[in-house]
Amino acid sequence: MDKKLEIGEMLLTEVTIQNRVRELAWQISHDYEGKRLLVVAVLKGAFIFVADLARHLQVPAAFDFLAVCSYGSATASSGEVRILKDLDESVEGWDVLLVEDIVDTGLTLNYLTQSLWARRPASLRICSLLDKPARRQVPVKLDYCGFQIPDKFAVGYGLDFDGRYRNAPFIFVPAECLTEGEKGCD
Ligand code: 5GP
């Protein structure tokens, strides 16, 4: 049995996340009134975010899912982006809203937006729960962003630590991911 991960720092509480998700849903509902909205969620990280967002949307929407692989394991980036599961349907003519869990280097979103634009959607916007601008390698324009976070490894609310802890309703930094200087400091 693996040792349980210790919370090093609480980044976002459940209440804070839920309030912001409702605000984002309200804004998106307003912007997509009368449009043909197709929400494309990026698995696995966005599965909880998109489910909560969906329940607060006030406009009819279709949903599809992409699964990509951009990280090897734990906290190290593999640098490459691979589509593990493609969309089920064509996006042609749809107003596509791409929903991500976090933008870090931007490589995943850069790849996905290029891939989606090539499929001729009527429009394409990006919604990410988290934005970690400190590590950006390619510029990414986020149309909807939940929270900007510092350059720390975030876990919970869809984000994993070596495949686990996606089900935590809050977002935290594991104790073992804090730098020595951050440990024990408030
Ligand atoms: P990017 O291509 O922008 O570097 O990375 C995007 C993907 O890397 C995210 O969808 C996510 O799966 C993973 N990732 C980036 N930063 C974090 C983080 O702080 N925590 C976790 N769990 N995954 C991250």
pLDDT, tens only, 56-115: 999 999 999 999 987 554 555 555 788 999 999 999 999 999 999 999 999 999 999 999
30 within a domain of the structure (yes/no): yes
104 a catalytic residue: yes
Distance from C-alpha of 105 to C-alpha of 137, rounded to nearest angstrom: 5
pLDDT over 70 for what percent of the chain?
90
**Which residue range(s) make up the domain with 163?**
7-177
Q: Does this model's pTM top 0.75?
A: yes
**Most ligand 1 atoms within 8 A of CB, residue of 5, 70, 141 to mutate:** 70
Residue 121 belongs to some domain of the structure: yes
Mean pLDDT computed over 146-156: 97
Which residue lies with its CA nearest to atom 13 of ligand 1?
71
Instruction: Give how far Cα 125 sits from Cα of 33, 55, 168, Å.
Output: 15, 19, 27
Residue 19 falls within a domain, yes or no?
yes
Alpha helices in the chain (DSSP H): 14-31, 47-56, 107-117
Q: What's the total number of domains in the chain?
A: 1
Tokens coding 133:
């601008």
Domain-embedded: residue 186 = no
What does the pLDDT look like over 160-175, one tens digit per residue? Answer: 999 999 999 999 999 9
Q: Is the CB of residue 15 less than 8 Å from the CB of residue 183? A: no
Nearest-atom number in ligand 1 for the CA of 101 is 10
Question: 3-state DSSP call for residue 90?
Answer: coil
User: Which CATH number fits the domain that encloses residue 69?
Assistant: 3.40.50.2020
Query: Per mean pLDDT, which range of 17-21, 22-26, 91-95, 108-112 is the poorest?
Result: 108-112
Ligand 1 atom closest to 152 (CA): 19
The answer to whether residue 38 sits within a structural domain is yes
Rounded to whole angstroms, how far apart are CA atoms 150 and 134? 7
